[in-house]
Amino acid sequence: MKQYGKSYFKDFWNFIDLAQFSAFMYVFINKLVTQFSSDSLMEILFSALILFLSIYKLMYFVRIYMPYNTIAMIMQAILIDLLPFGLLSIGLLFALSKIYQVLHMGVNDPQDLYKQI
């Protein structure tokens, strides 16, 4: 960072390294302070972010070796092709869970708490 100055942050991979380090330090210090007393949503999201960035950085290093470069390119192409299917599946899961909630609340709501649905 001292050698390149602000141009250090223009490289995407340096930004990933910095984001991963920052997120890890936040989660680590927070766990030390709270002594693992709770797992809030933000802690779970930061842990997932750290894991995602670690796998992403691993894939970056795998691309250096020629035999594994082809595998990484095939995996990237497959994941890009599966992205619409994954988004559709998640959307359908949310829609079906909402339908289930609406139907279930209509039947088991003796106090009329959910009559506005």
Q: What is the pLDDT of residues 8-33, one digit of tens each?
A: 778 777 777 787 778 778 777 877 77
Rounded Cα distance between 80 and 74, Å, is: 10
Whether the model pTM is above 0.75? no
Evaluated on CA atoms 77, 81, 83, 86, the torsion sign reads: negative
Domain boundaries, the chain: 1-62, 67-117
pLDDT in tens, 51-86: 887 777 777 777 777 778 888 888 889 999 999 999
